[in-house]
Structure 1
Amino acid sequence: MHLNRRSRIALRLAMALGLAVLYVPLLVVLLNSFNASRSFAWPPTGFSLRWWQAAWQEPGLRTALWTSVRAGLGATAVALVLGTMAAFAATRYRFFGRQAVSFLLILPIALPGIVTGIALNAAFRTVLTPLGIGFGLFTVIVGHATFCIVVVFNNVSARLRRLPGSGEDASADLGAHTFQTFWYITLPAVRGALFAGALLAFALSFDEIVVTTFTAGPGTQTLPLWIFDNLARPNQGPVVDVVASALIVLSALPVWLAHRMSAP
């Protein structure tokens, strides 16, 4: 498609405006983390690194960070196992209700987080509480896994659709059993998609707040919950900016790696 000069300029301006709406607020947060003022004053009254040092010395922050890491790793592990198995079942086999199963697997990522959180909260109170299992890290991992499975399922399914079955057929013809074929033929071909799905799943779990609010117990606080609780506290604004700035960098890295790994 050929565009005239005015159309190209208009498209470039629209793209620049869209990128500005997305990334200028992030840049403001990053600059405010070096603000010498104790408030969200803009423009910055001066530049200082003391808020980065103060954030590192926050004991509650370190505890919340470790909780988020454990929840993210747990949800990612569950998503890798279940999402990969579901992707192989929906892509490599034909059975009654296959499309319905695929739809049900993808649906959680489209549902509003508050709907998922309320549903999980009610389910946990009905099923787990009578068994003596209260709200805590386990329920957070289960809640996060519900939407982390989707990204693994989508990544692995997309890779399997582009992967011809001739290699697996040849391996079977040469006498390899199912697990040998998977280990030597299929796994190397989908390894990039698995890695990309794991990175995206961890990133989604790490910054989730809505579902976490309904599934975390009183003593379980992830990093996003810590940020939300400290956002309105006096003199905590600069520390929150520091944490948000660090999360911007940490969140961008796995997304970039996942994009590189999932590219054909």
Structure 2
Amino acid sequence: MYLSRRARIALRAAACAGFALLYVPLLLVLVNSLNPDRSASWPPPGLTTRWWTAAWHSSGARQALWVSVRAGLGATAIALVLGTLIAFAVARHRFFGSGALSFAVVLPIALPGIVTGIALNSAFSTVLAPLGIGLGLFTVVVGHATFCVVVVFNNVVARLRRTSGSCEEAAADLGAHPLRAFADVTFPLLRSALLAGALLSFALSFDEIVVTTFTAGPGVETLPVWIYGNMTRPRQAPVVNVVAAVLVLLSVVPIHLAQRLSSDTATTSRV
């Protein structure tokens, strides 16, 4: 498609404006984490790493980080099992209601987080409270798994639909046990899709705050919830900037790896 010189300039300007809108605020967070003043003054009078040291020694931030890691790992593990099983059911078998099942799996990630949080809070209070199980880390993991399953399901079902089942059938004809066929044939084909889904699931769980607010009990505080609770405390503002900067830097890693793995999967499927 041919574009005039003015159109190309306009598109480039719009793209630069869009990227600036997305990334300039993130850059400001990083700069403010090095600002020697407690207030977000601009331009900063200098640069210092004292707030990074204070954040490293903050027991509240470290504890919240550990809770976020445990919640993310638990939600990712559940999502990998359930998402993979449902993907196999939808992609490898034809049955009545498969479309409705796919819709039901994808729906949680499309719903507003506050709706999901309220629904889960009501369900946990109704079902778990009579059993003596209150809100805590377990309910946070379950709540995060409801939308992490979608990510794994989408990755695995897309990979299965691009992969013929003839290899698995050939392994079965040669006498391979279903588990052996899965380990030797199916899993290598799905490995990159599973890893990409796991990385994205962990990133989603790690950053979640709305669902966490409704499913976490007293004393259970993830890192995003800790950041939100300390934003209004002037003495904690520099430490919050440091933690936010670290989250931005760490979030790049799983997202970049997931993108590379997804692209490698797509390239492999076309070979």
Q: Tell me, yes or no, whether TM beats 0.5.
A: yes
**1:156 aligned partner:** 156
| TM-score normalised by L of structure 2 | 0.96
Q: How many residues align?
A: 264
Q: How far 1:18 moved relative to its partner?
A: 0.9
Counterpart-to-counterpart distance in 1, 2:37 and 2:256: 33
Q: How far 1:155 moved relative to its partner?
A: 0.6
**2:190 aligned partner:** 190
Q: Superposition pairs for residues 91-102 of structure 1, below 5 Å?
A: 91-102=91-102
**1:36 aligned partner:** 36
Counterpart-to-counterpart distance in 2, 1:196 and 1:111: 23
Q: Superposition pairs for residues 164-183 of structure 1, below 5 Å?
A: 164-183=164-183
Q: Superposition pairs for residues 98-247 of structure 1, below 5 Å?
A: 98-247=98-247
State whether residues 33 and 51 of structure 1, in contact with CA within 8 Å, keep that contact through their aligned partners in structure 2: yes
Single out whichever of 243-252 and 14-23 deviates more from structure 2.
14-23
Cα shift readout 1:120-166 (whole Å, capped 9, x = no counterpart): 00000000000000000000000000000000000111111111122
Counterpart-to-counterpart distance in 2, 1:98 and 1:166: 22
**1:61 aligned partner:** 61
Q: How far 1:176 moved relative to its partner?
A: 1.4
Moved over 6 A (4+): none
Counterpart-to-counterpart distance in 2, 1:26 and 1:204: 18
Counterpart-to-counterpart distance in 2, 1:2 and 1:102: 40
Counterpart-to-counterpart distance in 2, 1:8 and 1:2: 10
Q: CA RMSD in A?
A: 0.8
Counterpart-to-counterpart distance in 1, 2:43 and 2:237: 15
Q: How far 1:6 moved relative to its partner?
A: 2.1
| TM-score normalised by L of structure 1 | 0.98
State whether residues 39 and 235 of structure 1, in contact with CA within 8 Å, keep that contact through their aligned partners in structure 2: no
Opposite residue 180 of structure 2, the aligned amino acid is Q
SS at match of 1:189: helix
Counterpart-to-counterpart distance in 2, 1:192 and 1:38: 44
Counterpart-to-counterpart distance in 1, 2:191 and 2:31: 38
Counterpart-to-counterpart distance in 2, 1:12 and 1:92: 44
Opposite residue 131 of structure 1, the aligned amino acid is L
Runs of 5+ consecutive residues of structure 1 not aligned to the other structure: none
SS at match of 1:236: helix
Opposite residue 48 of structure 2, the aligned amino acid is S
